[in-house]
Amino acid sequence: MKIFDYFETISSIPRGSGHEQAISDYMVDFAKQLNLEVIQDSANNVYIYKPGTKGYENSKPVILQGHLDIVWEKDKDTDFNFETQGLELYKDGDWIAAKGTTLGADNGVAIAYQMAILADNTLEHPPLEIFMTTEEETGMGGVRNMHGEYLKGRTLINLDTDYEGEFLVSCAGGVRVRINMALSAEQIGTTAAYNMKIHNLRGGHSGAEIHHERANANVIMGRVLKILNSKLSIGIACVNGGTKDNVITRECDAIITVDANKDNELKQLIAQLDAMLKSEYSAQDPDITIELTPTTTNTIINRECVNKMLNLITLLPNGVIGMSHHIENLVETSLNMGIVDTTDKNLHITFAIRSSVETKKHEMVSKIMDLCEIIGAHCEAAEDYPAWTYKEHSPLREVAIKVYEKMYDKEPVIMAIHAGLECGFISQKLPQVDIISLGPNVKDIHSPQERVSISSMTRVYEYLLELLKALN
């Protein structure tokens, strides 16, 4: 099926968030080769227009929307340059994955669907407006800067859902919070030094998978360091974990020092903590591991700064804060400590905060700011994005349900998601727009274990074609 050829093609083009110029240009050329009208805006968003087929010439336009960018994450032992190399895809039974890296099915599936529909002149459909956005994964920069006047349709199918048979009709809003705290370093003499690594965690999407309560390596590192410090008065040279705020952190490293006469005591305590964590996370992260490797360091963070840093990391909230009282099993508010990074002079922490209730989102920001003020850190919130509010009356949803029931003799699941979709911004930019979101089964997005089901990707494409036929 052509969708897999297109998926393989775009997987060969580096397209991480902020690096979409090449894929955006490719889509413009793709449209021109098909003799279709195309617009590329200053944010590298792409708008492609395909006329309605016979019998649909006067139907209202339908917008198909997805994002061009992907999350760049790789296993630490994988030698891979995302900026210059194409992804190495492979099949494992019914699944497609990438060797040692994220796959980019989020949201490469949407782009493959869009390309296949644009290129196939045997299909029946209304006028189509194909809308491809950029920087979705790092603050939704593309959709923030979209040109609403380029889109005439008010029926939009977002293709950024990762569970077949589920139609999303609402999503959370979010905001990024950055914390900075000044540090000072001091020289040390001869002492035992170790790189302490917390790893082998599953990670995952910090919104859609936050309810699984998987271990966050940054949070665990703060906890472990605080215990070690209270019992052994360790020195800490640096702490580094995570590269994306919207990914549940899988690995975190710290360089620590300890008096030579406490070396064996340190190793025994690490073994105890490792066993404790394996027990606590036996269901969510059974492979969690604390590993010590000898190293060297000439400097450590001074004692006063260490105490403030560990208090901050361990007191900051993380994970699910509250559940919705309106939609069963929906997380209402959460936050994820995605990045912890120290230099000789600063501690940097970055959070992704999400909520389907705007006031609860800002309450969490306020609480973090208050805590930072008490401890002596600077905090700022940026890249706020709105929630997508549920519509009581949705003709698109009604048609989508009928088509699904006819094809599969069962009802789809109508649900909201605790993750940010571009639908929030789109609903602001396009007044009265009617939106649903759908997609195939994609597992472990935003992690090197990401994979997409071949059979599900095929079925959802076939369903999408039937849905377009019904929108006349």
- Active-site amino acid positions: 69, 136
The CA–CA distances, whole Å, from 288 to 215, 303, 349, 470 equal: 8, 29, 22, 49
CB atoms within 10 A of CB 54: 6
d(CA 240, CA 221): 10
The beta-carbon contacts of 360-369 under 8 Å, at least 24 apart in sequence, are: 360/321, 360/322, 360/332, 360/333, 361/173, 361/174, 361/175, 361/333, 362/175, 364/317, 364/321, 364/333, 364/335, 365/175, 365/177, 367/317, 368/177, 368/179, 368/316, 368/317, 368/335
- Beta bridge partner(s), residue 248: 204
Alpha carbon distance 160, 425 (integer Å): 14
In the beta sheet, which residues pair with residue 378? 180
The token duo for 19 is: 């690096």
Contact 241, 340 (CB under 8 A): yes
Helix (H) or strand (E) holding 124: none
Q: How far apart are CA 310 and CA 208, in angstroms?
A: 28
Which tokens go with 372?
């930072």
